[in-house]
Structure 1
């Protein structure tokens, strides 16, 4: 069964609860969660005048094809209350497909690997916790190598649930 790596994030409401609800929904609607990274907090990226985000990476198995996976993710985000008002705006939950096996895909609705993956510490740090030696199929570098070369200077700190 194909493996996919998803980034969960959110910066509104009870952030830990929304991450937990997203994990539960993904387990029911997408497939089995094999592993999950720690939970990390970072200042908003892109549009910076908003609350800090919590992020987590999941390693999952799914029978869904990439387009089906994206549709399920979008449905789950809506179920959890996500409203898309502005690019990089505040949100209760955001779920991004980072990798899907070694597929390289670019369509109007979906790009895999995620096109911003190598530019974001809040993505690379939890991803490197799970798969530091995983090779990016386009850039030809490991996740650990991408993290070491990442131009993003925002502090990313691991948090303990309940803190």
Structure 2
């Protein structure tokens, strides 16, 4: 089984319910089990500020699915929950991003692993650190070191699954 970390985000249509529904769907994927979920954090949008705050979390799954097969399933879950891509970094009912897939490094048109900008996003690093404080990224960077960069984050825990 491969260990995979997935970022979850939503800022439309009751975001906490959107994330909980996504977690249920993740746990139902074939050859996959959900093993950990961070707290849900309320955060300001990364992109345009004329949208509601986000609710973000990170989940850890164990899976036998190949990376692109998993990506297809995640996009299917997003679509089933009404995901519409209106603008880059815009509002959405659900966003699911593969952050890490074991120590795999991939740079393809459809998938970049580790996630291309995860180390610069407090709404990824803080929840990831919460569930995997001893994690070392494939680049050799300790998640604990990255978390120090966001020690003064302004996110608020809004839900604990």
CA distance in 1, matches of 2:47, 2:147: 18
Corresponding residue number in structure 1 for 2:35: 34
Corresponding residue number in structure 1 for 2:154: 155
C-alpha deviation, 1:160, in angstroms? 3.1
Corresponding residue number in structure 2 for 1:61: 62
C-alpha deviation, 1:34, in angstroms? 0.5
- Say whether 1:89 aligns with 2:90: yes
Per-residue CA deviations over 1:33-64 (Å, capped at 9, x if unaligned) read 11111111101012222100001111101110
Corresponding residue number in structure 1 for 2:129: 128
C-alpha deviation, 1:16, in angstroms? 1.0
C-alpha deviation, 1:153, in angstroms? 7.2
CA distance in 2, matches of 1:100, 1:153: 28
Q: Does the residue aligned with 2:73 lie in a helix, a strand or coil? A: helix
Q: Does the residue aligned with 2:26 lie in a helix, a strand or coil? A: helix
CA distance in 2, matches of 1:110, 1:47: 24
Q: Are the counterparts in 2 of residues 27 and 33 from structure 1 also a CA contact under 8 Å?
A: yes
Which stretches of structure 1, 4 residues or more, deviate above 3 A after TM superposition? none
Q: Does the residue aligned with 2:28 lie in a helix, a strand or coil? A: helix
Q: Does the residue aligned with 1:29 lie in a helix, a strand or coil? A: coil
Q: TM-score, normalised by structure 2?
A: 0.93
C-alpha deviation, 1:14, in angstroms? 0.8
CA distance in 1, matches of 2:97, 2:26: 12
CA distance in 2, matches of 1:21, 1:149: 31
Corresponding residue number in structure 2 for 1:73: 74
C-alpha deviation, 1:23, in angstroms? 0.6
Q: Unmatched 5+ residue regions in structure 1?
A: none
Per-residue CA deviations over 1:41-94 (Å, capped at 9, x if unaligned) read 101012222100001111101110101010100011001100011111100000
- Count residues in correspondence: 160
- Say whether 1:142 aligns with 2:142: yes
Q: Unmatched 5+ residue regions in structure 2?
A: none
